[in-house]
A = this chain, B = another copy of it.
Amino acid sequence: MPQTASATTAKKPSRIQVRNRRKILDAALDVFSQHGFRGATLDQIAEAAGLSKPNVLYYFDGKEAIHVELLNALMAEWLAPLAEMNPQGEPLDELMAYIARKIEMSHTYPRESRLFANEIIQGAPRIGPHLDQRLKPLFDEKCALIQNWMDTGRLAVMHPGHLIFSIWAITQHYADFDAQVQVLMPGTEAAQNSAREHVERMFRTLLTV
């Protein structure tokens, strides 16, 4: 059996293991992000991965284990941009850089965005603790930082928490509601660019003192 990523029993995984686990996770990202956890089936994941169902279960302990692994990987990447906001930097530049990265991520990783959206919409049954323990402290820290920037007159004053919510809401909207966006504003690259420009201009206007 392949070592199931136990911290203690950690032998280096074979090339086949790396390849197949990657294939499974990629396929599962497709399926979970489109149908949610309960709506996704192992058969779909197996077929999308080009493996048999028992073979999928050879690499992961079950449907939930795949989902958990995806969410864990997601959270790490998802939090990084926020964490990188630098207290020493120029406030407006830092926030605009964060927004730009968020937009880019939603564009580059729409499946991850939808996976997260699905999980939250369903009440965060599997990622709840993660939110509490990892996201909350970071959120609070960055709220305090932004509040400080505002207090010292270097940013327009508003509620930092709701500001962050607004950034998340708008940037993720283009990934999560892509089906709607495509209907209402057809056209691929031009629309994408105009979206980026709109969002950046909007927050720059809002945040500039």
A interface residues, Cβ below 8 angstroms from B:
33-40, 114, 117-118, 120-124, 128, 131-132, 135-136, 139, 158-159, 161-163, 165-166, 168-170, 172-174, 176-177, 179-181, 183-185, 194-195, 198-199, 201-202, 205-206
Closest B residue by C-beta to A181: B165
Q: Specify which chain B residues have a CB less than 8 angstroms from the CB of A34 in the assembled complex.
A: 121-123
Which residues from chain B contact A38 at a C-beta distance below 8 Å?
35-36, 38-40
A176: chain B residues at CB < 8 Å are 117, 120-121
Cβ-defined partner of A139 (8 Å) among B117, B173, B184, B206: B184
CB pair A195 B128 closer than 8 Å: no
Please tell me if the beta carbons of B128 and A117 are within 8 angstroms of each other in the complex. no
